[in-house]
Structure 1
Amino acid sequence: MSEARLSGRDLAAALTVVVLWGVNFVVMKFALRDFTPFQLGAARYVFAVLPLALFIRPPRIPWKWVVLYGLFQGVGQFGILFFALQVGMTAALASVLLQTQVFFTALFGFVLLKERASRPLQIGMVLAALGLACFAMNYLNPGASLASATTLLGFMLTLCAAAMWALSNIVARRVQQVAADYSPPAFVVWSSMVAVLPFVALSALFDPGSAHWQWTQARASSWLAVAYLGWVATIVGYSLWTSLLKRHPANRVAPFSLGVPIVGLAAGMLVLGEVITPWQWAGIALVVAALASVMLGGLLKRR
């Protein structure tokens, strides 16, 4: 585990993940036009598994970690998030609220892994908390233009999804401790396989009968959205993410995801016509300051 600052290659990987996952929320909205949340979860991970599972061997780690990661990151994070987006959550706000995983990760990392936050990270987390508070103020304001598009249930479910993401971060760190030479792409592909059957079972149990075969009538754009979610956001995004967690502490990697709301808000504004309010601009400024603290604070302190 490296305590040094991220290399240029690692920084590029982190920023790539920020873009891929920022666009992710708009893509989810498109896919949910023709799929139920459970159908979308199953389809996403079928795409993530095939055809790569035919060519990539299982990772050389205990299977309990593969199963736990698949359940937390797949069924937990995205099953809950898809449901939140359907019952009352905008793509823009979801991209912000999901980043509370930074705080959950730091908490779980402290309790379970005994990881401690550096001073720049502490400052960054305070700034990020203020930024998230600004975003929340925008939606708590009864006059906000997007307030009617969200519900309390959608809000709470998105926070639950963030907690599931944080737990998957902790699992990835534990994998690094027990098997330092594991393959992140193999880990992501085979853990994705774990999520398929639970999503299929949940769809069979909870989706209304009229929805069981609606995926056969899905538009081509919805299938392209599923392909993006499965191959780009999952395989590419999470392979890069787990590679970073393999080399650095969880509470050092997780704050980079705070850039996701910036991309998510921009995508929501350009693609879905969502409005950026003064509260949101204030939140964006604070999130950028938080990222600057995390990425540059250690270097400035050493100098």
Structure 2
Amino acid sequence: MEKTKIINDDSVNILITIDENYIKPLRVLLYSLRQTNPRENMTIWLAHDHIEVAQLEKLHQFVAQLGFVLHTIKVDTSLWASAPTFKQYPPEMYFRLLCGQYLPKTLHRVIYLDPDILVINPIRPLANMPLKGQMLAASSHMGLTGISQTINHLRLGTRQVYFNSGVMLMDLDMMRQRVDMKAILSVIQQYGKELILPDQDILNYLYGDEILSLPEEIWNYDTRDNIMHYAKSFGSVDMRWVMENTVILHYCGRPKPWEKSNSINPFIMLYQHYEQLLAISGL
């Protein structure tokens, strides 16, 4: 594990957990973060298991050019040997559940972001948001993809809102006290074959009552649900509203915006615009 450097108390701390397959979209995410937060101090915490040293060195150089600080932390995946994983859900997805154990004790809160994200407005308000005594803050996708909430209630016997784990504000001090590896492994053993979105299901099952609900159209906008947001708001949440108010666009599901596809998702063009800006930036 990398030695911890002095943490800038004024910095926005971002946690990413990926394998080498997601380095390219991570670069786009970080580039969007810099473009829309030009004067912010940012510290990026990257948890991984086996990204090659050469890849990490290139990533360190890229992040330094953006003006951010990068800490890489190698996490052993052997703890998750019994946990269900899939091609699109590698073992690294579980790292966020126990991030309080491997992030430095001097770090008290962090924003977790999935790599399939664009940040299109300032993120500081999320970093400073009061958690009102809750351990986490997250959004629930209640549109066309909200069916997972009903499925989760049936599968796991839960009753609270089903939260998406792709964007979370985390109180690390509370997580160090409350999140228990034995409890997580127990859920995996009991429900392993029924877990559809494994780490997200576990998060909701064990800690759903300790999550502050955030408005999804601002903090975790599922780009598949743009028609639903437009209809539910009687036309007020249109593209202009999103560009002015939404902070985080989340490209959930398939196809991903960096993949060749015939998707009609209007937000894919915006993602490809950031890809092109990064390509011509020379970074």
TM-score (norm 2): 0.25
Structure with the bigger RCO (C-alpha within 8 Å, sep 6+) is 1
Which structure has the highest strand share of the two? 2
What TM-score comes out, normalization by structure 1 length?
0.24
